[in-house]
Structure 1
Amino acid sequence: MSDAPNLFNLLRLRDDTARPMYQQLEEQLAALISAGVVAVGATLPAERRLAEDLGVSRTTVQRCYDALRRRRMLSAHGRLGYRVEAVESRLKPGMERLKGFTEEMRELGRTPSSEVLEQDVATDRSIASIFGLPSAAPLLKLVRVRLGDGMPLSVEKAWYDVSAAPALAEADLSGSVYARLAENGLTLTRCEQTIEAAAPDERESAIFGFEEPLPCLLIRRRSYDGGGRMIEYVEGLFRGDAYAYRLTLNA
């Protein structure tokens, strides 16, 4: 086993953010492993030593290592410490059918979760025009950070036609919106989706834990019910270092 590079020079933990130290440490170590900066087979420092080097509690490092073990990125080897394991560095979800983030994560064996940053009913002339609605039509704006196994994977800005599902405005949307829609008798049957390269802004970089902007995937989606009514418009920014979409094309 080889030793990992000096992590003290690679990790930048912040105390001016609401994100816990152990999550910051987990996200940064996962990114270093995925990028190959910390190579497969390398041995990470013991919990106590890394905690002392970084000036954090041993519990912080312990929670980080435990999370990385659950993600199968590390394995414990007793006195030899923690070994970096070979893992698929990028998620590769299929795009053969319409599904939400929650279902997608579960299919990939990850635990989905969300942090709701904004949930308000308001008017937006430009978004209303996308729906083909009058400029003063009420729309639900929902901004969330979508996480897989605690790692921020996307920042999602979504709008919904609340006239189609009024109860959505006051619902708990930290989970699957599609499940909430189904509870209101709405099923999305078709979507139109585009994918393009994009750079995160300062706020999005902070959410992803980027020290400087890294390439991301911007996915725009318009979703419709069985009657052809547009219910959802989404702009999701997915981190490029963790996501790669898979397509299956038949002749």
Structure 2
Amino acid sequence: MHPTTPVSNAPSKPPFQDLLELRDDTAKPLYQQLEDQLTRLIGDGTLPPGTTLPAERQLAERLKISRATVQRSYNALRERKLLSAQGRLGSIVQGPGSRLHSGMDRLKGFTEEMRELGRVPSSRILEQSVVNDRSIASIFGLSSHARFLKLVRVRSGDGTPMSREVGWYNLERAPELEHADLSRSVYAELERLGAPLQHCEQTIEAAAPTADECAIFGFPVPLPCLLIKRRSYGRDGDMLEYVEGLFRGDAYTYKLSLRI
């Protein structure tokens, strides 16, 4: 099943540089005007965390000002932790809260995680279908004829795409999931269906995004990401879920609390 995307007739937002008004008839230097206006756009959410700003030379050409002016403004914003440098690729907006620091102390889904961090979670389903996949069946320890629900989603926090997830769910253990509404939390739906998850095994590794994933995240070129692979199990010990989620590395980190 491939959900259709409604066509919106709403006017598109203007490029952020069209919102900048640098004046030469005031005593305030251009670099300070630019810094103040970028600060305002970041603060009010016009430039949300994860947004890639143009490289210094590119923005200078668009605004018809010197590169040194843009460089001075960018440097000031980096010192204030509102931007992170990406070399010739530009800079990434960090926002007032900087990166998301997610704990790993217990099993929780993206929806719960975002809410705990004060973000509004949302999901966009790219694919939802029932499949037979011999490789995935091997991961679950099932026969090659086993049926799985395949779910591909873009997960966002405050409207900023944070991850692209591909998940497979064991329909032998949770057959009702095939017709469930999965636009929100799959974990909450499994709980409702009487098949709650109890524990998981998770690995994290560095990975480069594909061209499609770069388009989702708004990356002009591939930037480092975190690939999280998770196997989740129910109360009877049977595997219910296998997920591979690519999380953007410029706005997402994991933290661990270790005890001796």
C-alpha distance in 2 between matches for 1:246 and 1:199? 21
What's the counterpart of residue 240 of structure 2?
Answer: 231
SS at match of 1:121: strand
Please say if 1:132 is aligned against 2:110: no
What's the counterpart of residue 24 of structure 2?
Answer: none
C-alpha distance in 2 between matches for 1:106 and 1:24? 29
Please, which of 215, 218, 231 is the counterpart of residue 209 of structure 1?
A: 218
Q: 2:48 touches 2:160 (CA, 8 Å); kept in 1?
A: no
Residues 24 and 129 (structure 1 numbering): CA distance in 2 closer, same or farther, change over 3 Å? farther
Please say if 1:117 is aligned against 2:126: yes
C-alpha distance in 2 between matches for 1:70 and 1:219? 24
Identity %: 58
Matches within 5 A, 1:61-210: 66-68=44-46, 87-210=96-219
What's the counterpart of residue 246 of structure 1?
Answer: 255
TM-score (norm 1): 0.70
Q: Unpaired runs of 5+ in structure 2?
A: 1-8, 17-30, 52-76, 83-95
User: Following TM superposition, where does structure 1 have runs of at least 4 consecutive aligned residues deviating by more than 6 angstroms?
Assistant: none
SS at match of 2:202: strand
- 1:89: how far off? 1.9
Q: 1:197 touches 1:217 (CA, 8 Å); kept in 2?
A: yes
- 1:214: how far off? 0.3
Aligned residues: 195
- 1:136: how far off? 1.1
Aligned partner of 1:158: which letter? G
Q: 1:117 touches 1:144 (CA, 8 Å); kept in 2?
A: yes
Q: 1:23 touches 1:150 (CA, 8 Å); kept in 2?
A: no
1:165-208 per-position Cα deviation (integer Å, ceiling 9, x unaligned): 11211212110000110111011111000000000000000000
- 1:44: how far off? 1.9
CA RMSD in angstroms comes to 3.1
Please, which of 37, 41, 48 is the counterpart of residue 44 of structure 1?
A: 37
Q: 2:227 touches 2:244 (CA, 8 Å); kept in 1?
A: yes
- 1:67: how far off? 3.1
Residues 70 and 207 (structure 1 numbering): CA distance in 2 closer, same or farther, change over 3 Å? closer
Residues 250 and 179 (structure 1 numbering): CA distance in 2 closer, same or farther, change over 3 Å? same
C-alpha distance in 2 between matches for 1:161 and 1:172? 16
1:41-61 per-position Cα deviation (integer Å, ceiling 9, x unaligned): 9222799xxxxxxxxxxxxx9
Aligned partner of 1:250: which letter? R
Q: 1:24 touches 1:209 (CA, 8 Å); kept in 2?
A: no
Aligned partner of 2:45: which letter? A
User: Structure 1 stretch 87-96 or stretch 240-249: which is displaced more?
Assistant: 87-96
Q: Unpaired runs of 5+ in structure 1?
A: 1-17, 26-37, 48-60, 74-83
Q: 1:128 touches 1:134 (CA, 8 Å); kept in 2?
A: yes
C-alpha distance in 1 between matches for 2:39 and 2:226? 36
Aligned partner of 2:213: which letter? E
